Amino acid sequence: MEEHPVQDMMRLMASKVRAIANGISGEEVEGLIREILNAKRVYVMGAGRSGLVARAFAMRLMHLGLTSYVVGETVTPALNQGDLVVVFSGSGETKTVADIAESAKNIGGRLCLITSRRDSRIGRIADCCVVIESHRDEIGDESAEFEIRQMMGKHKSFAPLGTLFETASVILADAIISRLMEIKEVNVEMLRGRHVNIE
């Protein structure tokens, strides 16, 4: 089968995501899982592409049988004490998201952040934080270095991706769901029973 530059980029992305996975703290991930299991309800949010990752995570939490909502939806109820807000934000500084995070804390909700910057506006008030490192590794091959710089948004001409944060985040979120399935002893048939049936 003929090779294609897109396949090369996929392999490069996969290798970068593997390196990111190796750098994520297991303790931080376990802290997030504990918060999810202890929460009465889980609210998720993010802006832009991070918001899309958050929505996918909320859907999978619902499939697990947990009560989950996306912040900003018309059917999302008021947040109460004992509820958890999970924020996806690479910078941890997005103003609209940070404003809501601060409001959630003032109400008495718990706050968890998935980010590349622990020392950020949201990170400083979060009850738990999972850091996805955004720094790039040293690459000996200059051509590979150039491609990674483009993927990491170092070159303005590379518009479609910009960052690997969201890619790593969606994989992390699905891996967390897999771990929650093990803990709650949920099988695929149980998930299928909660899947939408009016599409």
Contacts 24+ apart (CB under 8 A), 24-29: 24/130, 24/131, 24/132, 24/133, 24/172, 25/130, 25/131, 28/128, 28/129, 28/130, 28/131, 29/130, 29/172, 29/176, 29/179
Q: Which is catalytic among the residues 166, 182, 185, 189?
A: 166
Q: Within the chain, which residues score under 50 in pLDDT? A: 135-143, 145-146, 155-162, 198
Residue extents of the structural domains in the chain: 5-135+142-192
Residue type at position 158: F
Cα 167 to the center of its chain, rounded Å: 9
Distance CA 16, CA 119 (A): 23
Q: What is the pLDDT of residue 6?
A: 85
Strand order, beta sheet including 110-115:
68-70, 42-46, 84-88, 110-115, 128-131
Domain 5-135+142-192 listed as CATH 3.40.50.10490: yes
Query: Model confidence over 2-12: pLDDT tens digits?
Result: 778 888 888 88
Closest by CA to 38, choosing from 180, 191, 170, 190, is 180
7, 78, 141 from 148: Cα distances, Å: 15, 42, 11
Q: Enumerate residues 6+ apart whose C-beta is below 8 A from 197.
A: none
Q: What is the pLDDT of residue 114?
A: 97
Cα 84 to the center of its chain, rounded Å: 15
pTM of the model: 0.82
Residue 192 exposed, middle or buried by CB count within 10 Å (0-12, 13-18, 19+) = exposed
Q: Is residue 147 annotated as part of the catalytic site, yes or no?
A: no
Query: Model confidence over 150-191: pLDDT tens digits?
Result: 555 554 433 344 478 899 999 999 999 999 999 988 777 766
